[in-house]
Amino acid sequence: MSFAADVAREAGLTTPLVNMTPFGFLKVVEFCDKPKATGRSGGRAPPRLDRRGAAPSCGAMSTLPDPFYPIAPDAGWVARLVGAGARFVQLRAKDLDDAAARAEVAAALDACRRAGATLVVNDHWQAAIALRAPWLHLGQGDLDHVDMAAIKAAGIKLGLSTHDLRELERALAHDPDYVALGPIWPTTLKRMPFAPQGVEKIADWRRRVGARALVAIGGVTLERAEACFAQGADGVALVSDVTAAADPEARVRAWIAATARWRR
């Protein structure tokens, strides 16, 4: 009997499927059948939470490419960040038409591929599909109009924003690869209808998201990062702590050094 099967049996679950990793080790892929998709959006029925409010341990164990997750306003900033050593970067380019969005995503993807980094495209899901971006991040409002079935069919990994339990339940129904919780602290990036969550909320979300990766965002600085990881975050997303720094490249290098212990 395999280790994965033993784990499933101990948990009272069906025998898990296993896949071979690129390094030759077996890993647990899933312990039980995934919920069936519902409707055109490809969303799934909300998972049943246990008595503690936690999601069931059903689905792949999700990991992030890197715990340091800076967010860039355009492809030029993406190139600067990956040039300084960042390996997991989000392109958050707003207010673009389809053609401009596609050009920006293409340029950011090119910069990441040359640097050996991973790009996350914020919002522009059609460009992400067309240009074969590896990751996509969506806000709650985006879920109202995206074609989730097309996103899943393209094999793009998915991150979703959450701010309260209702949004978390909605996000988990789409089986994301990571869940973002924010704002942890006050943020100047955009006006938020939500009060700061506080770092303690990360531990609550850690329990609720199960095996999915958890990203803390909002007011995160290098000095605050350790508190996020101590509460169970797998990664920290940030903008102005790097882009507004006197020497952004030096700040990136400081982040990379400071997050080394959480890098897998």
Give the three-class secondary structure for 225.
helix
DSSP alpha helix (H) spans, the chain = 3-11, 75-83, 98-115, 125-130, 148-153, 165-172, 200-209, 225-230, 240-243, 248-258
Q: What share of the chain is helix, strand, coil (3-state, %, to 5)?
A: 35, 20, 45
Q: Tens of pLDDT along 81-133?
A: 999 999 999 999 999 999 999 999 999 999 999 999 999 999 999 999 999 99
Q: Predicted confidence band at 190 (pLDDT cuts at 50, 70, 90)?
A: low
pLDDT of residue 260: 98
Domain ranges of the chain: 1-32, 68-262
How far separated are the first and last CA of the chain, in Å rounded? 28
Model pLDDT for residues 150-174, shown as the tens digit of each residue: 999 999 999 999 999 999 999 999 9
3-state SS, residue 227:
helix
Residue 226 CA to residue 210 CA, distance in Å, equals 21
**Which helix or strand (DSSP H or E) is residue 162 part of?**
strand 157-162
d(CA 222, CA 255): 6
Kindly state the DSSP code that residue 57 receives in the 8-state scheme: S
Residue 45's closest CA among 172, 210, 159, 167?
Answer: 172
Distance of CA 194 to the CA centre of its chain: 20
What whole-number distance in Å separates Cα of residue 232 and Cα of residue 172?
18
CATH T-level fold of 68-262: TIM Barrel (3.20.20)
Q: Tokens for 203?
A: 């531990």
- pLDDT at position 15 over 80: no
8-state DSSP, 183: -
If you search the block for the tokens 């970067």, which residue do you land on? 89
pLDDT at 188: 74
Residue 195 confidence (pLDDT) = 87
Query: 0.75 cut: is pTM over it?
Result: yes
Across the range 242-261, mean pLDDT stands at 98
Nearby residues of 261 by Cβ (< 8 Å), 6 or more positions away: none
Residue 50: pLDDT above 70?
Answer: no
